[in-house]
Structure 1
C-alpha cells in the first residue's frame, strides 16, 4: 500500500523530473512559440499519451524487458536518436531556407505525433522508472499497479507544467511576431534537438 509519505516523496521527485529541461520541454515550447497555444497543447497531449504507454508497460510487467532483452535498449535508443536528429535537422533546414510567403496552417496531428514519439522512443525515461519505482512500490502482486499510479502522477504533473509552458511560449511567440526572429528560434531549437540526439546515442544502458 502506498502511504501518504511515499506519495508526497514521489510527487516531489516527479516535480523535479518534469522541471528538468529535456526534449519534451523544448518540443512543447518550440511548437507553442512557432505555431500557437493549440500546437503546444497538442504536443503535451502526445507526451501524456506516451505516459499512458509507460503505465501500460509497467502494469503488465513489460518495462523490465528493456534491460532483460539483449539489444532492446540499444535498438530503442538508436531509433529515438535518429528521430530527434531528424526533427532537429528539419528545424535547422526550415531556419536556413528563405521565407516563401505565409506558411500554411499546420494540422494538430503533427505536433501530437512528435510529442508521443519523442516520449516512447526515449529509453532513458524507461530506465528512470526502472531505477526509481522499486524503491517506492515495494514487492508483491500489487506492485505493478502501484507503479502505474506513480507513473501516472509523473505525467499528470508533467502535463500541468507543459500546459503552462505552452501558454507562456505562445504569448512570447506572439509578441516576437518577427519571421527573422522565429527563424533564429527554429535554428536554436533544431541545434538543441541534434544535441539531444547525440547525447541519447552516446548514453549507456
Structure 2
C-alpha cells in the first residue's frame, strides 16, 4: 500500500521533478524537505487525534480543500505564463512561482486534505484501537513519507540530468507548460474531492 501511494503521481512528484529540471538537484531536494515537513505535520495531527477532525467538520475540510486547489491552480498559472512568455537568454530565469521550492512543498502538502482522508481511510485497517494506536498511525505515516523521500530523491536526480540536457530550450518551455496543465488538473481533482 505504501509503495503504491508513493509512486502515484501527484503534486509531490510534479513539484520535485519541476524544480529539479528547472533549477537543479538542490532545488528538488528543497521541495522534498518541504514535503517531508508537511508529512511531519500529518504525523502530529494523527498523534494528537486531530486528523479525524478534518473529516468530522465539513466546513474545515471544504476550506482546506479550496485553499489547496487555489494554490495548485496558482502554481499552474505561473508555469503556463512562464512557458508562454519565456525569459530572454541573457536574463536569469525567474521561477519563484508561489515561493521557494521548500515553501511550495510544505504548503502543497499541508493544504491537500486528500492526504489526510487517505490516512483516515487506510490507517484503521492496520492500526488497532488501543492506547498505542496513535503511535502506530504515526509510524505508518512516517514509513510512507520515508519511502516518498527515497522515490522523490531519485526523481530529483533523474529530472536534474534531464534538465541539464534540455537547458532553456523550447523543450523546457513545453515541459513547463505540461507541468502547468498538470497542476490545473490536480487542482480540479482536489476541488472535486469528497471527505469520507
TM-score, length of structure 2 as denominator length? 0.94
Q: CA separation in 2, counterparts of 1:70 and 1:163?
A: 35
- Using the TM superposition, give the Cα deviation of residue 139 of structure 1 relative to its aligned residue in structure 2, in angstroms: 0.5
1:121-141 per-position Cα deviation (integer Å, ceiling 9, x unaligned) = 110100000001111111111
Q: CA separation in 2, counterparts of 1:88 and 1:19?
A: 21
Tell me which residue corresponds to 1:35: 23
**Unpaired runs of at least 5, structure 1:** 1-12
- Using the TM superposition, give the Cα deviation of residue 16 of structure 1 relative to its aligned residue in structure 2, in angstroms: 0.9
Q: Quote the RMSD (CA, aligned, Å).
A: 1.4
**Count of residue pairs brought into register by the alignment:** 192
**Unpaired runs of at least 5, structure 2:** none
- Using the TM superposition, give the Cα deviation of residue 67 of structure 1 relative to its aligned residue in structure 2, in angstroms: 1.2
Tell me which residue corresponds to 1:200: 190
SS at match of 1:87: helix
Task: Find the partner of 2:7 among 4, 13, 19.
Answer: 19
Tell me which residue corresponds to 1:186: 176
SS at match of 1:133: helix
Tell me which residue corresponds to 2:64: 76
Question: In the TM superposition, what are the counterparts of 1:53-202 in structure 2 within 5 Å?
Answer: 53-100=41-88, 101-103=90-92, 110-202=100-192
TM-score, length of structure 1 as denominator length? 0.90
SS at match of 1:118: helix
Tell me which residue corresponds to 2:37: 49
1:62-95 per-position Cα deviation (integer Å, ceiling 9, x unaligned) = 0000111231111110000000000000000011
- Using the TM superposition, give the Cα deviation of residue 106 of structure 1 relative to its aligned residue in structure 2, in angstroms: 6.7
